[in-house]
Chain A
């Protein structure tokens, strides 16, 4: 089955840029979707189809996807961005929805 790999944690100072990666075999050929999840809350979609933002998600959130790595970029990081971030793809070969292991973003 298809495997997505994320770093367990990323730490960044307020106002700086956070980059969270999601690795997978030729992931650039798939569409990647990102969710954030704060403790005790439901996951929230922040990026879909690699780089599209749902309404209500700040422009500070962007995404890219190429080769074997997809990246979620959060510019001008704020304390409220602290959360777990999960990447997800739909694996057409298995017909399964697959998630990365999640990355905990810490705002220093």
Chain B
């Protein structure tokens, strides 16, 4: 079955960067899009960006443009999300989520989430 396994929790200082990973299994990695979504404490889910794994086309939310890079390694079935210039407001749980087959609209599987703490 489909699994998305994310890397472990991170503690970062303001102004630094974090790079998270999301390893996929149970399906053909290059056939699906992979999104990144975060949830800050007490806040709603916030879509950050996505990668169309097959052609490496990426698109980012304007709220993160210039600070985010999504990449993938198809040989390792792994996607990555790097966020730069971290600030306290970036403290959140970050999720990867698979774009549903045949639909741009929703996510059919999610990773378990990675907690990123930002503190001086």
Contact = CB atoms under 8 A, between A and B. Distances in A.
Interface in A17-62: 31, 33, 35, 41-45, 48-49, 54
Contacts, number: 61
Interface string B10-32: 00000000000000000000000
Nearest to B97: A43
A54 B47 contact: no
Interface residues of A, number: 23
9 contacts: A33-B106, A33-B107, A42-B4, A45-B107, A45-B108, A48-B100, A54-B108, A97-B47, A98-B47
From B37, B44, B97, B113, name the one whose CB has the most chain A CB atoms within 10 angstroms.
Answer: B44
Given A42-B111, A88-B106, A99 B44 contact: yes
Contacts of B37: 97, 99
Given A43-B45, A54-B108, A88-B106, 14 more contacts: A33-B107, A35-B110, A42-B95, A42-B110, A43-B95, A44-B110, A49-B105, A49-B106, A86-B45, A88-B45, A88-B107, A90-B104, A90-B105, A102-B45
A41 B112 contact: yes
A86 B111 contact: no
Nearest to A6: B44
A80 interface: no
A54 B109 CA distance: 11
A100 B46 CA distance: 10
Interface in A66-105: 86, 88-90, 95-102
- A35, A54, A88, A97 pick with most chain B CB within 10 angstroms: A97
Contacts of A41: 112
